[in-house]
A and B are shown apart, each in its own frame.
Chain A
Amino acid sequence: MIDALIQLLGRENVLTEPEDLIPYSFDATAVLKQMPRAVVFAHSAAEVSGVLKIARLHRTPVVARGSGTGLSGGSVPVKDSLVLCLVKMDRILEVDERNFTLRAQAGVLTQAIYDAADAAGLFYPPDPGSMKVSTIGGNVAENSGGLRGLKYGVTRDYVMGLEVVLAGGEICSLGNKCVKDVAGYSLKDLFVGSEGTLGIITEVLLRLVPRPQVRQTLLATFERMDAAAETVSAIIAARIVPCTLEFLDSRTIRCVEDYTHAGLPVGAEALLLIEVDGHPAAVRDDAARIEELCFRHGATSVRLAANAAEAARLAAARRSAFSALARMKPTTILEDATVPRTELAAMIRFIQETGAKHRLEIATFGHFGDGNLHPTFLTNERDADEMHRVELAMKEIFAKALSLGGTITGEHGVGLAKKAFLRDQLGDASLALLRQVKRTLDPENLLNPGKIFDL
């Protein structure tokens, strides 16, 4: 098999030495690790097709991978699999300024997509935390979110078309530049969030939107979590849709302050970072109303950025949250339980109680606007007893999220990390439907097998 791959791709694109494979035995998910049989780099859909055919001939599983920044183990190798790495398919093929679309190969970095759109006066909104590193193919395969979900949605909302290589090696083109298109099933949507289990995404056609003219940033602090939650409800009730509505809990605030000395009130229970964007007059008006609503609902302080530099300083408190937390303990497990935003305050309180009950350090921050929370476990993978308590707490948190009408994963995907919880959310009938789809598209179960669910 290795010889056939070398013949197809060239020796430099097939890695088999342990020193080459160890660095591909994990992604950004904590703890999970598995050695692959080989790592191969493809430069075109035709090469991807060739790899899948060879793999099928040898009954070898194939795990697609971009930059390996996933947080649920989606691109962690399956035992003895081929890792099919797409980072070298990194060309932006077209920016269509008249149709507001962008076509790119799967291995283009998300940041490069944003920059190319920006250079044309357009805007690609999804901004996952790893966008400087992650590839657009990986974003589509995981249906990545980001900070702008409330107003702009997630990756799925910007996918107009895909080129996908199927398990048998067929190259399919799905979707097009038409805003309206009802010819047949909307199969591109099947592949968005499919985590490499149904086909290999090799090219994407993305929708762009006009770049907002201005942006205004506010930072508000609260002594009580409920006050912050009420403020968010009030903002939404006033029919204002901020592009960003982020929050930090008390533990995160303390960690960030220890790390950045930015002058955050360490006694505060919650901190909201709010951004509105759009037409200058509307932005001014929205910002003034938000400020007033914050104070009316018990904010202890509200800071309004006077310029871009100050906006960046205010946003830094939120942006450095993960860095600040990651420094505290050897192992940092970032979760993404998500609930309807009306249930957020209850969920956050539950997480805090659960942490106390299991003697765990859990800091929570996240996207208040769309209900996507990041309870972050600060722990040590070498402490078996503590890891057991982490598992117990996680189980309880997911159960609670589901009881509130939420989901076990808002933006990281199921991969390996959430597999055990999927049935609780979907129920038997829905899970059976997922399996049926998988069996139809990948009858031999060679594409990222064992991810999302077992067959």
Chain B
Amino acid sequence: MSGPTTLLKALDYSVLQQCMHCGLCLPTCPTYLETGNERNSPRGRISLMRAIADDALGPTRGFAEEMDYCLGCLACTTACPAGVDYATLFETARAEAEKSGARSTPTRSLIRFFTLGILLKRPWALRLAARMLRFYEQSRLRPLVRKSGVFSILPRRWGEWERQAIPIRSRFSDSLIAPVEKPAGFARRRVAVLTGCIQDISFSDVNRATVDVLVANGCEVSTPRNQPCCGSLHAHNGDLESARELARRQIDALDPANLDAIISNSAGCGSHLKRYGHLLSDDPAYADRAAAWSLKVRDISEWLVDIGFRKPDAPSHGAKSVAVTYHEACHLCHGQKITAQPREILKAIPGYELRECPEATMCCGSAGVYSLTQPETAAWLRDRKIAHLLSAGADIVATANPGCQLQIELGFRRSEAEAPKAPRVAHPVVLLAEAYRSETQVPLQKP
């Protein structure tokens, strides 16, 4: 059985004990909905973690697979009456599973080293890889490679990955945003914007829009260059040591003392950034600083509502009527309990009508790298999500996380047969920035 160094055993037992196995989490858990098997539910997983802490089970392959099957969507934490800290349990359990090596294969280790160890630790490496990927996506190489039949001899998953490869922007955040941008008048607040990893290479326009709306609301915005990854993907994938290292780097890079807020526009990052205090609580040199740092973190929608953002005026040529529905990113609604603020922003935009869709708080299957590691479940969740989004009959799907946006866009591309005119997918802050811009536009002159 496991030795005394077991991570789950080292964890404060009361965190495990807090689960009273009442089962109220069951109907909110996507994997339990898929299988109806308790092992695939939050209370089932916690019972396995507790069995390891109690020495009744070793960190087996079955355990490791189960922890990988969990999306980490945290829907259970919203349903939980007892306030179980599932985020901590999940991160510790995944780290336990990785440490045991129960699922380790040479390919898996290599992929983990390349992604978690290199790409997501070195901003320059990620950007270089992104530029290479963009070259591949834009060039005539892609159709050639696809036609060559190379994917028929590689494992099937590789072809799937190639099709899911994220679209890369021609320009990243640093070339779109100045290091410091000031509002026209008096700067009432000073904030820093975090540009993220995927957000930076695939959705740099969201970062630009974030700075636009902050400046429009009287904030002086600093955007540090060459930002490191926040470490959320490391923490969620069982590499807590790297997560801590990246957190320290982030804290060193950005002094919160002179800032009113540290702004994140990516739900997954924000949810993790708010846990730095927790992540580094055992590090005497950083514990206090990390706690103070986390207290300054705000999601962009949260911050805009906090400061009473200005509602955009209707453009002088009149606002077009637009139906918008909102998909809640798990790490915004469950991870940060932010649900009202993004809706307030959407409702403030002239001409917008917010139409709720069923299961708005259910995971879309993106979940970090889940769509790559568990393609079947991810596809099932994606199709379920797409059907609910389409049922709202909206022109726009708003969502505040890059992973969700990629997953939903992919889903719409796949369902084009049934929905020839798929809705546009956009971050609420992009929509708000557009509304501010169209205020100032001169109406078209009739010839």
Which residues on B sit within 8 Å (CB–CB) of A22?
Answer: 39, 44, 47-48, 51, 56-57
Closest chain A residue, CB of each to CB of B43: A23
Interface string of B14-51 (1 = CB under 8 A from A): 10011011111011000000001111010111011001
Q: Which of B23, B36, B47 contacts A28 (CB 8 A)?
A: B23
Closest chain A residue, CB of each to CB of B81: A323
CB distance from A258 to the nearest CB of B (A): 12
The number of chain B residues touching the other chain, given as a range, is: 20 to 34
CB distance from A262 to the nearest CB of B (A): 16
Give Cα distance in the complex from A132 to B81, angstroms. 13
Give Cα distance in the complex from A87 to B27, angstroms. 12
Which residues on A sit within 8 Å (CB–CB) of B83?
Answer: 323, 326-327
Give Cα distance in the complex from A211 to B47, angstroms. 40
Question: Is B436 part of the contact surface with A, judged by Cβ < 8 Å?
Answer: no
Interface string of B54-80 (1 = CB under 8 A from A): 001100101100100000000000000
Which residues on A sit within 8 Å (CB–CB) of B21?
Answer: 26-28, 68
Across the interface, do A23 and B44 meet the contact criterion of CB distance under 8 Å?
Answer: yes
Give Cα distance in the complex from A15 to B38, angstroms. 11
A contact face: mostly helix, strand, loop, or mixed: loop
Across the interface, do A327 and B82 meet the contact criterion of CB distance under 8 Å?
Answer: yes
Across the interface, do B20 and A26 meet the contact criterion of CB distance under 8 Å?
Answer: no
Across the interface, do A88 and B39 meet the contact criterion of CB distance under 8 Å?
Answer: no
Across the interface, do A23 and B22 meet the contact criterion of CB distance under 8 Å?
Answer: no
Across the interface, do B82 and A326 meet the contact criterion of CB distance under 8 Å?
Answer: yes
Closest chain B residue, CB of each to CB of A68: B23
Give Cα distance in the complex from A111 to B28, angstroms. 13
Closest chain B residue, CB of each to CB of A25: B47
Q: Which of B17, B37, B38 contacts A330 (CB 8 A)?
A: B17
Interface size on A, residues (CB 8 A): 35
Question: Is A266 part of the contact surface with B, judged by Cβ < 8 Å?
Answer: no
Closest chain A residue, CB of each to CB of B35: A12
Q: Which of A20, A25, A30, A111 contacts B20 (CB 8 A)?
A: A30
Give Cα distance in the complex from A20 to B63, angstroms. 10
CB distance from B48 to the nearest CB of A (A): 6
Across the interface, do A323 and B27 meet the contact criterion of CB distance under 8 Å?
Answer: no
Across the interface, do A130 and B22 meet the contact criterion of CB distance under 8 Å?
Answer: yes
Across the interface, do B20 and A326 meet the contact criterion of CB distance under 8 Å?
Answer: yes
Which residues on B sit within 8 Å (CB–CB) of A133?
Answer: 23-24, 26-27
Give Cα distance in the complex from A67 to B24, angstroms. 10
Give Cα distance in the complex from A25 to B51, angstroms. 11
Across the interface, do B81 and A326 meet the contact criterion of CB distance under 8 Å?
Answer: yes
Give Cα distance in the complex from A111 to B18, angstroms. 26
Closest chain B residue, CB of each to CB of A319: B81
Which residues on A sit within 8 Å (CB–CB) of B47?
Answer: 22-23, 25-26
Closest chain B residue, CB of each to CB of A323: B81
Across the interface, do A332 and B82 meet the contact criterion of CB distance under 8 Å?
Answer: yes
Across the interface, do B22 and A28 meet the contact criterion of CB distance under 8 Å?
Answer: yes
Which residues on A sit within 8 Å (CB–CB) of B41?
Answer: 23
Interface string of A369-389 (1 = CB under 8 A from B): 000000000001110000000
Give Cα distance in the complex from A30 to B27, angstroms. 21
Across the interface, do A23 and B48 meet the contact criterion of CB distance under 8 Å?
Answer: yes
Closest chain B residue, CB of each to CB of A20: B39
Across the interface, do B36 and A87 meet the contact criterion of CB distance under 8 Å?
Answer: yes
Closest chain A residue, CB of each to CB of B20: A332
Q: Given A19-B63, A330-B18, is A130 in contact with B24 using a C-beta cutoff of 8 Å?
A: yes
Across the interface, do A17 and B62 meet the contact criterion of CB distance under 8 Å?
Answer: yes
Closest chain B residue, CB of each to CB of A112: B27
Give Cα distance in the complex from A172 to B37, angstroms. 28
Give Cα distance in the complex from A19 to B51, angstroms. 9
Give Cα distance in the complex from A111 to B26, angstroms. 13
Across the interface, do B20 and A19 meet the contact criterion of CB distance under 8 Å?
Answer: no
Which residues on A sit within 8 Å (CB–CB) of B22?
Answer: 28, 69, 130, 326
Question: Is A24 part of the contact surface with B, judged by Cβ < 8 Å?
Answer: yes
Query: Which residues of chain A from 9 to 49 have a CB within 8 Å of any chain B CB?
Result: 15, 17-20, 22-28, 30, 41
Across the interface, do A67 and B57 meet the contact criterion of CB distance under 8 Å?
Answer: no
Across the interface, do A19 and B39 meet the contact criterion of CB distance under 8 Å?
Answer: yes
Which residues on A sit within 8 Å (CB–CB) of B43?
Answer: 23
Across the interface, do A330 and B14 meet the contact criterion of CB distance under 8 Å?
Answer: yes
Which of B22, B41, B56, B83 is the most central at the interface, judged by chain A CB atoms within 10 Å of its CB? B22
Question: Is A109 part of the contact surface with B, judged by Cβ < 8 Å?
Answer: yes
Q: Which of A19, A109, A327 contacts B62 (CB 8 A)?
A: A19
Across the interface, do B27 and A331 meet the contact criterion of CB distance under 8 Å?
Answer: no
Across the interface, do A19 and B60 meet the contact criterion of CB distance under 8 Å?
Answer: yes
Give Cα distance in the complex from A283 to B159, angstroms. 64
Give Cα distance in the complex from A87 to B36, angstroms. 7
Question: Is A322 part of the contact surface with B, judged by Cβ < 8 Å?
Answer: yes
Closest chain A residue, CB of each to CB of B41: A23
Across the interface, do A19 and B66 meet the contact criterion of CB distance under 8 Å?
Answer: yes
Closest chain B residue, CB of each to CB of A24: B38
Across the interface, do B24 and A132 meet the contact criterion of CB distance under 8 Å?
Answer: yes
Give Cα distance in the complex from A322 to B80, angstroms. 11
Give Cα distance in the complex from A81 to B211, angstroms. 62
Q: Which of A23, A26, A323, A331 contacts B39 (CB 8 A)?
A: A23
Give Cα distance in the complex from A347 to B9, angstroms. 42
Give Cα distance in the complex from A67 to B29, angstroms. 13
Which residues on B sit within 8 Å (CB–CB) of A27?
Answer: 21, 23
Give Cα distance in the complex from A17 to B39, angstroms. 11
Which residues on A sit within 8 Å (CB–CB) of B38?
Answer: 23-24, 68
Which residues on A sit within 8 Å (CB–CB) of B63?
Answer: 19
Q: Given A20-B37, A23-B38, is A331 in contact with B20 using a C-beta cutoff of 8 Å?
A: yes
Which of A19, A130, A330 is the most central at the interface, judged by chain B CB atoms within 10 Å of its CB? A19
Give Cα distance in the complex from A88 to B21, angstroms. 20
Which residues on A sit within 8 Å (CB–CB) of B81?
Answer: 320, 322-323, 326-327
Closest chain A residue, CB of each to CB of B63: A19
CB distance from A418 to the nearest CB of B (A): 18
Which residues on B sit within 8 Å (CB–CB) of A67?
Answer: 23, 26
Across the interface, do A19 and B37 meet the contact criterion of CB distance under 8 Å?
Answer: no
Give Cα distance in the complex from A254 to B429, angstroms. 40
Query: Which residues of chain A from 92 to 118 have a CB within 8 Å of any chain B CB?
Result: 109, 111
Closest chain B residue, CB of each to CB of A322: B81
Which of B14, B21, B27, B38 is the most central at the interface, judged by chain A CB atoms within 10 Å of its CB? B38
Give Cα distance in the complex from A380 to B51, angstroms. 18
CB distance from A330 to the nearest CB of B (A): 4
Which residues on A sit within 8 Å (CB–CB) of B27?
Answer: 109, 111, 132-133
CB distance from B146 to the nearest CB of A (A): 35
Query: Which residues of chain A from 354 to 380 have a CB within 8 Å of any chain B CB?
Result: 380
Across the interface, do A130 and B23 meet the contact criterion of CB distance under 8 Å?
Answer: yes
Which residues on A sit within 8 Å (CB–CB) of B17?
Answer: 330-331, 380-382
Which residues on A sit within 8 Å (CB–CB) of B14?
Answer: 330
CB distance from B248 to the nearest CB of A (A): 32
If A22-B48, A327-B81 are given as contacts, then 6 extra A-B residue pairs at C-beta distance below 8 Å, sorted by A number, are A18-B62, A23-B39, A23-B43, A23-B44, A326-B22, A330-B17
What are 12 A-B residue pairs whose CB atoms fall within 8 Å in the complex?
Answer: A19-B60, A22-B48, A27-B23, A28-B20, A30-B20, A69-B23, A87-B36, A88-B36, A323-B82, A327-B81, A330-B14, A332-B20
Nearest 3 A/B pairs, CB to CB: A23-B44, A323-B81, A19-B62
